[in-house]
Amino acid sequence: MLESVKNSGSLASGSIKIGGGSINNFNENRAVARLSELLALEMGVSPATARQIRAAAGLHDIGKQKIPKSILYKPGKLDAQEFEIMKTHTKLGAAMLSSIQGILGEMATLTALYHHEWKNGAGYWGVPSYYLPDYVNITAICDVFTALVTERPYKGAWPPEEALAYILNQAGTQFSDDLVGVFIPLVRNEERVSALFEGVKN
Ligand SMILES: [Fe+2]
């Protein structure tokens, strides 16, 4: 699947139309959640489970509520100490969600805790993502894409094809080849993905 994506021509020639957007006027969590549901469906997950993945994904960054605003909205690169504090939004979120009973509680907790892990173990907590449930890795790639095409205090919104080029480049290190191979065609071809970002202005 990944090979066919790589051989499908220049990434710059893609035709998807997704606007970037301001963090202030665009509900990123909802986009990450819906995109995660669509990716899960594309990977063959049942609709009921895909809805649970959506619910868990919608809570992945809830721990950011407990991160100081001076760090969360810093208009520049975080220094080493600030980055260590930022990383704790995963553990703080997991602690907040762990009291939810049942499978949704488990999914939301693990998604919050591990959504910044990489395939090669270079993520926040050094857990190779192939040890993690698929739904965590689904949310992770959707979170990265949404962050890239969205304006941040420290960067502008990337054009979607540049974001896809980044994700393709991270295949094998940050993300699994299989996940990237499904994700890129989904974003390019699925109108429901474009619709997610409609109305968001650069
Ligand atoms: Fe996060």
- pLDDT confidence band for 26 (50 / 70 / 90): low
Please calculate the CA angle 188-41-201 and round it to the nearest 5 degrees: 40
Q: Would residue 121 be called left, alpha or beta, if left means φ above 0 and alpha means ψ between -120 and 50 degrees?
A: left
Q: Is the pLDDT of residue 91 over 70?
A: yes
- pLDDT confidence band for 8 (50 / 70 / 90): low
| Cα(4) to centroid(ligand 1), Å | 30
| Cα(147) to centroid(ligand 1), Å | 10
pLDDT at position 14:
40
Distance CA 162, CA 33 (A): 22
| Cα(13) to centroid(ligand 1), Å | 30
Residue 160 lies in a domain: yes
| Cα(180) to centroid(ligand 1), Å | 19
Give the domain CATH number at 101.
1.10.3210.10
Residue 107 lies in a domain: yes
| Cα(16) to centroid(ligand 1), Å | 25
Residue 123 lies in a domain: yes
| Cα(144) to centroid(ligand 1), Å | 9
Domain extent, residue 11, equals 2-196
| Cα(9) to centroid(ligand 1), Å | 32
Residue 15 lies in a domain: yes
Q: Which of 183, 172, 202, 154 is nearest to 21 (CA)?
A: 202
Residue 202 lies in a domain: no
pLDDT in tens, 172-184: 999 999 999 999 9
Distance CA 47, CA 147 (A): 25
Q: How many domains does the chain have?
A: 1
Residue 8 lies in a domain: yes
| Cα(114) to centroid(ligand 1), Å | 9
N residues, the chain: 202
Q: Is the pLDDT of residue 38 over 80?
A: yes
| Cα(90) to centroid(ligand 1), Å | 6
Q: Is the pTM of this model over 0.85?
A: yes
- pLDDT confidence band for 199 (50 / 70 / 90): low
Residue 201 lies in a domain: no
